[in-house]
Chain A
Amino acid sequence: MKPSLPLLARAGALLFAASLVASAADQPAHDIYAAVAMTKAQKNSPTPTDSGLYVRRAGSTEWSLYGPRVLGITSIADQPGTNGQVLLLSCADGVLRSTNGGASWRKTTGWDVADVRCIDFAPSHPATAYAATCWGPLRSTDGGATWELAQNGLPKLYCQTLSPDPANAQRVLLGTEAGIYVSNDGAKSWTPTRGPAVCILRIARGVKNPDTLIAGTLGHGVLISHDNGASWSPTDAGSATANLYAAAIDPADTNRLAVGGWGVGLRVSADGGKTWTDRTAGLPAKNVFVVAFDPEVKGRLWASTFEEGTRYSDDLGATWQDGGLYGAYAFDFVFLPAARTP
């Protein structure tokens, strides 16, 4: 799940506080967006039967395709302060931008940008946005209208996850093929953080305590940081050698963590990573690609397994309910305030 700070900032403290005491039965006030590829039925074809961004509207249990029918969508971000009018989509062809709440879209990157895996705005300075691509990171200082390559200082360019500092738009963490790098100058330059030089698959940041982050890695389990990403150390011996594609921190409680990966299923911690529990039982498979805490329904945890759709749990993974999207290979869940996009 992409860090949801912008959402919560806009939702407001009152709504957030209310969510902490809400039950799972409460009507959510947000839409859930899932970037997926429908690969389950894909055979004799390089193309999934369908793919793109699916939305599950507030109060609905149905998913429907949203946005441009462009392939390879991996995430969506909305610009803080624009009331959902300025949106960015990351996809294989580059970055797409809407300035009218999704009514129309424009590609804002050139031929030299491809395979964009993660995109987000800097909450404290919404004109600043960052993107992680398989060919290196990008930055924008005009709300995603234009982009430039931001490779200086990176020994290896591959990256697929990032996390802007919520308080400092110039500071951003980047998950690369060779560990987590940090920029303190708006992605003009990068330096390595203290931690293993391994391939980083997903970075998740706490909301109540943004200095706490976790990262899923390729073959090295989950890393945790308590100093805003300056240093990282392994946690959870139970997944120490796993490929962890999914990582999430409950926005309501930074001690509640979830990670998921291939063969290891889904694991949660309720004590900030001191102990971990396997919560795979009830999921259709042990191959988890996305986990996300619902920002408004306390305790609700979403998970997506490879080609088996989504599940959600209102008891931190003790039991699971069918969330739809069967056949999907999901890349990200993003929560946006309801009815703000057409």
Chain B
Amino acid sequence: MLVEMQKKASLSYLPFFATVMTLKMPRISSITALFLLVSTSVLTNLPVFAASAPLDLSDAAIAQRFAVRRQAILAASAAQIKPGNTTTSGGFLDVASALYLGQNREAALARFAVINQPMPNANMFWTYPMATVMVAGGPGFDEPTWQRVKELWRIYWPNRGDTENHWCMYYSSMYLAAQTFEGAGPEQWFNGRSSAENLAEAREYILHWMNIAVTRGQGEYDSPSYIQEYIVPMSMLAGWANDPVLRQRARMMLDYLIYDYAVENIDGFYGGAHSRVYPRQIVAPGNTPIAAISWLLFGFGQETADPANTLLALSGYTPPPILERIARDTTHRPYVERELKRTRWRMRNAEPDSILIGDKRTLPVYKYSYVDREFVLGSSQGGLLQPIQQQTWSLTWRTDKPTATAANTFFAVQPYSSPLEGTMFFGGDWDTVTDLIARSKADYDSPDKLPSGSPFEQVFQHGTALIGLYDLPKGNRFPHITTFFSRDLVNTTEDASGWIFTQGGPVYIAYRPLAPGVWKPNDWTQLLAKDVKGFIGAGFDKWGAGSRCYVSDAQQNGYVVQVAPARDFASFAAFQSAVRALPIKFSTTGKAEVTFTALDGTVLHGRYGSTPTINGKAIDYAHWPLFDSPFAHEKPDSARLEIREGGDRYLLDFKNTRIEETAVPPAQK
């Protein structure tokens, strides 16, 4: 790919701290530029277009626009194969694109030969592009190319990794490679297993993963970064698996993953709580793979190189039009989306209230998002839900700033790092795990980090109001909470009432700390700023500089957040007046406790360690739905997702591996 660079991972004895770095920049090649010139109106809802007419959301129009964007992706990728430069230009997926399109075959094979030397070292980040070239471009191979490919699968032992996304990529690749080398014996494989054995192992895992995901939720849920690593393998299988069941289920999983995103997006930005985000992504939500993918899927933002886009385009997958209508919905917004996910498997230190799925321990993750047409405010319940990169809650708003550098977000975090967390999720040793995590996730053990879960955190939300409560023990490594005030906020004022008012684009924000804090620049240790050549900090001056944080170090602590669309008030001052008038009662003596009456009159009450109440009624976590919104209502273990939008019904039935598209009966609309 033109700008894709992946630093991969593999691992040691221990954690295979997942890593993917995708440097992004708008990719408009000369070919694409020409293409855009002639077809701008169907590629995306650029402002000039959007201002002139509503976007046509008919099935035909959606399909037509997607087809055009898909071709643009393929053309741009294939264009990286340059007959005059096979030494430096083009990656595996570009080779696949060129061969798939039948252009510059000799140069593509020459480039492929170059990048197949010397030995690979990227593990599953090698297996997936290699397998993709084999299935998408294999018909264009010559015999020497096949011989080298076979040799590599025999002599290079790619590691499987240790995350859900690693395994999905690894086993999807193994499946397709084994399918391609049908009948190959164990001597032809690095792992001494025959093609039939590798195929069976891969199939078994993939189906297992799908079943867990559609019944109890993903462990790496709703990540604006790692959704890429699920779209990639599912695209591969949807495009090329010979097994009709696997192929169909992969397509259904793509629908499922994309719905899961679409229902919480705002203009392509993935709103709400996330399992995994990098520093560059948590402060600049458009600096994410999903922002790039959303261009191909729905036309949000601008064309940006991304492996998932190339895979989607190569696979032939076309999202059902109902998903774009949901992604662009203005009819049902605002609505509440609730989802059930789970934590990554806990190998030890599992809490007493952990649950078993099969023989693996986990905790449910209760997601709640308020999805407005101007913003998404979404949260999970807090706690240690993921290792390293958790975002417990966030507010993300529409913006007209450049996607990759817009800091259109607001959130808080209790930075936490510990061997308890490290050994909970990784097979490392207590005394080294934190150090080794920070070898790749450099911010993990830094007091100014922004992604983090915390065992001392409890968050709940109702509508546009959110409350965070904290109980920090003495001796905690980072004894403070940090609230991120982005550089995109305006009119920030510390009100005498104790509220801090600010505005993010079309959203008014009120933040009430329960204990005083101090203002610090974000990245106050300058860890990211100084990491100019590092994986974590590169480009910080563009995407990260210039924001600040409100840092409070009280042990019993918390905050109340109340947001509102600016359209609901005559002025910012009117919003402030309304918030000042809201009843609020709190205590930080003993366990932090808050009772707050929100703008809509709802009374939220929480005491750290107890189940929060809404209007006096305890939040019913026990019956939390797998999905619940105007578009879908599913219980855990249903293994299905019935999506309804307008008059359309789209059913993903994983038990029977079928998709059903029907009109909603008039009586049920």
Smallest CB gap from B346: residue in A = A158
Smallest CB gap from A160: residue in B = B427
Q: Check B162–A92 contact: CB distance below 8 A.
A: yes
User: Does any Cβ of B come within 8 Å of A47's Cβ?
Assistant: yes
Q: Check B205–A111 contact: CB distance below 8 A.
A: yes
Residue from A71, A74, A135, A218 in contact with B347 in the complex, judged by beta carbons closer than 8 Å: A135
Residues 37-48 of chain A: 1 if any B CB is under 8 Å from the residue's CB, otherwise 0? 101001111111
Count A-B contacts at CB 8 Å.
139
The residues of B that contact A105 with a CB separation of less than 8 Å are 191-192
Residue from A72, A110, A157, A263 in contact with B204 in the complex, judged by beta carbons closer than 8 Å: A110
A61-76 at interface with B (beta carbon < 8 Å): 68-74
Most buried by A among B15, B18, B156, B431: B431
Q: Check A107–B193 contact: CB distance below 8 A.
A: yes
The residues of A that contact B350 with a CB separation of less than 8 Å are 156
How many Å lie between the Cα of A277 and that of B590 in the bound state? 47
The residues of A that contact B359 with a CB separation of less than 8 Å are 135-136, 149, 151, 157
Residues 86-103 of chain A: 1 if any B CB is under 8 Å from the residue's CB, otherwise 0? 000001110010000000
The residues of A that contact B202 with a CB separation of less than 8 Å are 111
Residue from A72, A112, A136 in contact with B12 in the complex, judged by beta carbons closer than 8 Å: A72
Instruction: Report the count of interface residues on A (CB-CB < 8 A).
Output: 54
The residues of B that contact A207 with a CB separation of less than 8 Å are none
The residues of A that contact B535 with a CB separation of less than 8 Å are 44-45
Residue from B11, B160, B348 in contact with A47 in the complex, judged by beta carbons closer than 8 Å: B11
Q: Check B201–A46 contact: CB distance below 8 A.
A: no
User: Does any Cβ of B come within 8 Å of A287's Cβ?
Assistant: yes
Residue from B157, B162, B208 in contact with A115 in the complex, judged by beta carbons closer than 8 Å: B162
B346-375 at interface with A (beta carbon < 8 Å): 347-350, 359-360
Residue from B13, B162, B427, B534 in contact with A44 in the complex, judged by beta carbons closer than 8 Å: B534
How many Å lie between the Cα of A69 and that of B349 in the bound state? 31
B-side interface size class: 35 or more
User: Does any Cβ of B come within 8 Å of A233's Cβ?
Assistant: no
The residues of B that contact A33 with a CB separation of less than 8 Å are none
How far, in Å, is B491 (CB) from chain A's closest CB? Answer: 39
Q: Check B348–A331 contact: CB distance below 8 A.
A: no
Q: Check A46–B427 contact: CB distance below 8 A.
A: no
How far, in Å, is B188 (CB) from chain A's closest CB? Answer: 12
How many Å lie between the Cα of A262 and that of B433 in the bound state? 13
Q: Check B348–A45 contact: CB distance below 8 A.
A: no
Residues 110-142 of chain A: 1 if any B CB is under 8 Å from the residue's CB, otherwise 0? 111011010000000000000000111000000
How many Å lie between the Cα of A107 and that of B436 in the bound state? 27
User: Does any Cβ of A come within 8 Å of B186's Cβ?
Assistant: yes
Residues 177-210 of chain B: 1 if any A CB is under 8 Å from the residue's CB, otherwise 0? 0000000001100111100000001101100100
> Given contacts A111-B205, A135-B347, are A69 and B430 in contact (CB under 8 A)?
no
User: Does any Cβ of B come within 8 Å of A199's Cβ?
Assistant: yes
Q: Check A245–B12 contact: CB distance below 8 A.
A: no
Q: Check A46–B18 contact: CB distance below 8 A.
A: yes
Q: Check A72–B347 contact: CB distance below 8 A.
A: no
The residues of A that contact B8 with a CB separation of less than 8 Å are 47
User: Does any Cβ of B come within 8 Å of A27's Cβ?
Assistant: no
Q: Check B440–A44 contact: CB distance below 8 A.
A: yes
16 A-B pairs in the complex with CB atoms less than 8 angstroms apart: A44-B440, A45-B439, A45-B440, A46-B10, A68-B157, A69-B157, A71-B11, A105-B191, A107-B192, A115-B162, A115-B427, A149-B359, A201-B429, A218-B430, A289-B429, A329-B12
